[in-house]
A = this chain, B = another copy of it.
Amino acid sequence: MHQETAYIINPLPSGSTVKVFAPATVANVVCGYDVLGFALQAPGDQVELTLNESGEVTLDLITGDDGLLPTDPDKNIASAVVKYYLNTIGRNQGVSVVLHKKMPLNSGMGSSSASSVAALVAVNHLMGNPLSRIDLLPLAMEGERIGCGNAHADNVAPALLGGLVLVRSHHPLDAKKLPFPPGLHVAVIHPHVDVPTRESRRILKDRVPLRDAVTQWGNVAGLVAGFCTGDIGLIGRSMEDVIFEPVRAMLIPGFYELKQTALNAGAIGFGISGSGPSVFALCQSEATALKICEELKNLLNTFRIQSDTFVSEMNPEGASIVGE
């Protein structure tokens, strides 16, 4: 599509700045591997872009990454997607990129997606918004490819669009924001163990039993129906994964104890966030989410594993401009 589209570009003046926040996201939502994800209010990344006359995209500062992210502007997601965006719309433009990582890396919470989406929403704003949010989705997926080697949309789509997003198909790309009942809170617990996405995908099998696949799509259907109709009981019963969780749970110490603790404490459902190691509990109240964070942190402590915890409502808006 990009070659043939004439974009209506109305760039802000040189020296203009914008700060964009893009949220962490929970992909898969237990049973919906590669097709479902939702956005949190926090944590997330903030990207600050400033237009200049240099004609180049420069990566001028990264904070909060403990020196772990690439500083080469072609390899760092935030600056690389800005370049990709400018190339797509056919514009030669100097941009200074500043990235404030405000969430853990390699956590299963969509860290690379947050950087990619924040940078794209920012540069698109500075160019006068020639692309809609949904038009930015393929570009954000390119950011995922740079960051993780796979151009999946189940983190970038909710980071960009907000709420719960269904990615029905990647080829052709077909994403839709779904309704969800109000008041849902999410507890995310990030244990400090290392499970890179690529490794986590590698342990999955190429073929699955048909009966497991049918069980899984019954649950995916139930989860979507539960969200669309506000049926909390159905959402909970559908948050079951017979294909990936049994494999990926091995990478998360005490996974089944964590799960049972969360369900006993009143979670609607519990599972691995993305490819882990973070886990999440969907809850009907902030109080339940806070209680679950505390209990799971304590339980991980008994395994001598440190953790971060986050409590957030579901985020209906996705990435947002937080300063100009």
Within 8 A of B (CB), among A209-238: 209-210, 213-225, 228-229, 231, 234, 237-238
Total interface residues on A, CB under 8 Å, equals 40
**Closest B residue to A216 using CB positions:** B217
A316 nearest CB across to chain B (Å): 16
A35-B220 Cα distance, complex, nearest whole Å: 11
CB A106 to nearest CB in B, in angstroms, measures: 23
Whether, in the assembled complex, A176 has its beta carbon less than 8 Å from a beta carbon of chain B, the answer is yes
Q: Which 10 A-B pairs have the closest CB atoms?
A: A228-B228, A168-B222, A217-B217, A213-B213, A35-B218, A217-B220, A207-B207, A224-B224, A168-B218, A221-B224
Q: Which residue of B lies closest to A244 (CB)?
A: B210
**A72 interface residue per 8 A CB criterion:** no
- A224 contacts across to B, CB distance below 8 A: 221, 224-225, 228
Complex Cα distance A186/B33, Å? 32
| A32: B residues at CB distance < 8 A | 217, 221
A206 interface contact, C-beta 8 A = yes
A169 CA / B217 CA spacing, docked (Å): 10
Is A204's beta carbon under 8 Å from chain B? yes
Residue contact B234 to A176, C-beta cutoff 8 Å: yes
Residue among A33, A206, A221, A234 with the most chain B CB within 10 A? A221
29 contacts between A and B (CB under 8 A): A32-B217, A33-B214, A34-B214, A34-B218, A35-B217, A35-B221, A166-B218, A166-B221, A166-B222, A168-B218, A168-B221, A168-B222, A168-B237, A168-B238, A169-B219, A174-B222, A174-B234, A176-B234, A178-B229, A179-B228, A206-B209, A206-B210, A207-B209, A208-B213, A210-B243, A216-B217, A220-B221, A221-B221, A228-B228
**Contact B210 A205, beta carbon cutoff 8 Å:** yes
Pairwise interchain contact B209-A169, C-beta atoms closer than 8 A: no
Tell me if A174 and B225 are in contact (CB < 8 A).
no
Q: Is A140 an interface residue (CB 8 A)?
A: no
Q: Is A114 an interface residue (CB 8 A)?
A: no
CB-defined contacts of A176 to chain B, threshold 8 Å: 222, 225, 231, 234
A322 to chain B, nearest CB (A): 30
Within the complex, what minimum Cβ distance (angstroms) separates A206 from chain B?
A: 6
Name the residue on B nearest A205 (C-beta).
Answer: B210
A168 CB to closest chain B CB (Å) equals 4
* Supplied contacts A35-B214, A169-B219, 13 more A-B pairs, CB within 8 Å: A33-B217, A34-B218, A35-B218, A36-B221, A168-B222, A168-B238, A169-B222, A176-B222, A176-B225, A208-B208, A210-B243, A224-B225, A228-B229
